[in-house]
């Protein structure tokens, strides 16, 4: 698209891991100029192994990288001059870190009253606000881990759900503050927090308790609202989730499976009847599904409007025909010049997906360019680079 919604908005991001970078990525995908300030050794997220190995490339597209030692007076002054030129500032460091650098909201708004300051924390203001938090910590505190695992075995969700959603809510707050600034001319502080985010995820179970008077059971032990809503094994050992949430779907599924006799069973007449008979019904259907070809049945389920889903691993999504044909996977250039398929934001504007416009940056790839734009001379940049305050990669 010729012009993106946030064209002309400059964002300065000092963040690491997932939450803050997600906010910056969303704003960058929407067209903002995002300048990421990294330590001269680079964001430590770049070097993570194991479950964190994909963090940096996933959440840092459409950004420029400048590498500055903010623990030096010259480095702090350079960043302050950059923030003076910004519309939005993003951070997600532990409480007190930004204030120690002079990058706290109260200090920055005196220099730049139009600045929207997005702070991503573990907790919003309250008794817990000095605690350090991780996605796993808040999942344990806010009931999500309890709801995910079986009784007595709390289990975190299989992705950084709170970090990602926390960054998303931070971006929503930034957009709201930018819109208000159009009227008032002034920025404001936006705070997003992991714990409150996770409490929102658990809200449906809180209200389930209020409505029913019974505590919600963990998902592996829950009483399903629908009788047919489960994972089944097929003849080739494949697994597939199949659901029938309405009477029409139930009737159609029975006919597809050659189980019309179930439709004549008075104990299975309604969904609630079937829920009460769920163990018996699922055991019977499991014996039916295990004799069938999963691929052939999937075609029939799709043709007849029955919800279903094959059980996939993340690495299999690179070959997903829907993602490929719909443009949901884009080719993203990495800092070493290689390419990978990368899922885009799950939205479209006038039918167009928001594409990567920049590769994943090398450490300090844009330091010289950005500093020149602030009025620094090549000589000053070289002097600060030689002193270890700047790192350039150009």
Active site residues: 163
Contact, 167 vs 20, CB < 8 A?
yes
Cα gap 9→31, rounded to integer Å: 8
Phi (first) and psi of residue 101, to 5 degrees: -95, -10
Cα gap 329→320, rounded to integer Å: 9
Residue 331 forms beta bridges with which residues? 341
Instruction: Give, in order, the Cα–Cα distances in Å from 247 to each of 226, 258, 262, 318.
Output: 11, 17, 13, 36
- Token pair, residue 121, equals 């924390």
Cα gap 264→39, rounded to integer Å: 70
**How open is the CA angle 198-57-97, to the nearest 5 degrees?**
60
Long-range contacts of 252-256 (CB under 8 A, 24+ apart): 252/304, 252/305, 252/306, 253/228, 253/301, 253/306, 256/297, 256/300, 256/301, 256/304, 256/306
DSSP state of 70: T
Cα gap 147→167, rounded to integer Å: 23
- The β-bridge relationship of strands 329-333 and 339-343 is antiparallel
- DSSP strands (E only) in 8-87: 10-14, 33-38, 63-68
Residue 113 forms beta bridges with which residues? none
**H or E stretch at 21:** helix 19-29
- Token pair, residue 210, equals 């209020």
CB-count burial class (<10 Å; 0-12, 13-18, 19+) for 181: middle
- DSSP strands (E only) in 125-227: 189-193
């Amino acid at each position: 698209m010729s012009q993106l919604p946030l064209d002309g908005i400059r964002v300065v991001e000092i963040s690491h891991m997932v939450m803050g970078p997600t906010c910056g990525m969303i704003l960058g995908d929407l067209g903002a100029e995002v300048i990421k300030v990294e330590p001269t050794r680079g964001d430590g997220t770049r070097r993570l192994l194991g479950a964190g190995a994909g963090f940096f490339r996933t959440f840092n597209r459409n950004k420029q990288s400048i590498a500055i030692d903010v623990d030096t007076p010259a480095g702090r002054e350079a960043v302050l001059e950059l923030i003076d030129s910004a519309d939005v500032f993003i951070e997600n460091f532990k409480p007190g870190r930004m204030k120690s650098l002079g990058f706290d909201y109260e200090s920055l708004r005196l220099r730049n009253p139009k600045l929207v300051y997005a702070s991503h924390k573990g907790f919003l203001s309250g008794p817990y606000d000095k605690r350090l938090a991780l996605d796993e910590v808040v999942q344990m505190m806010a009931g999500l881990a309890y709801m995910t695992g079986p009784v007595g075995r709390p289990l975190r969700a299989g992705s950084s759900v709170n970090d990602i959603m926390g960054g998303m809510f931070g971006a929503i707050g930034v957009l709201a503050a930018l819109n208000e600034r159009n009227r008032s001319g002034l920025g404001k502080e936006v705070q997003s927090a992991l714990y409150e985010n996770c409490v929102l995820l658990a809200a449906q179970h809180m209200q389930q308790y209020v409505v029913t008077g019974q505590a919600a059971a963990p998902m592996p032990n829950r009483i399903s609202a629908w009788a047919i809503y489960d994972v089944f094994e097929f003849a080739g050992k494949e697994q597939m989730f199949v659901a029938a949430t309405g009477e029409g779907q139930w009737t159609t599924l029975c006919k597809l499976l050659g189980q019309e006799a179930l439709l004549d069973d008075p104990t299975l007449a309604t969904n609630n009847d079937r829920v009460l008979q769920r163990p018996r019904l699922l055991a019977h259907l499991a014996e039916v599904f295990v004799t069938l070809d999963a691929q052939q049945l999937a075609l029939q389920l799709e043709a007849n409007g029955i919800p279903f889903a094959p059980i996939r691993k993340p690495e299999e999504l690179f070959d997903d025909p829907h993602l490929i044909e719909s443009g949901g996977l884009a080719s993203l250039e990495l800092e070493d010049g290689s390419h990978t398929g990368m899922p885009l934001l799950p939205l479209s504007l006038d039918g167009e997906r928001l594409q990567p416009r920049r590769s994943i940056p090398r450490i300090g790839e844009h330091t010289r360019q950005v500093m020149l734009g602030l009025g620094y001379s090549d000589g000053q940049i070289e002097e600060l680079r030689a002193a270890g305050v700047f790192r350039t990669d150009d």
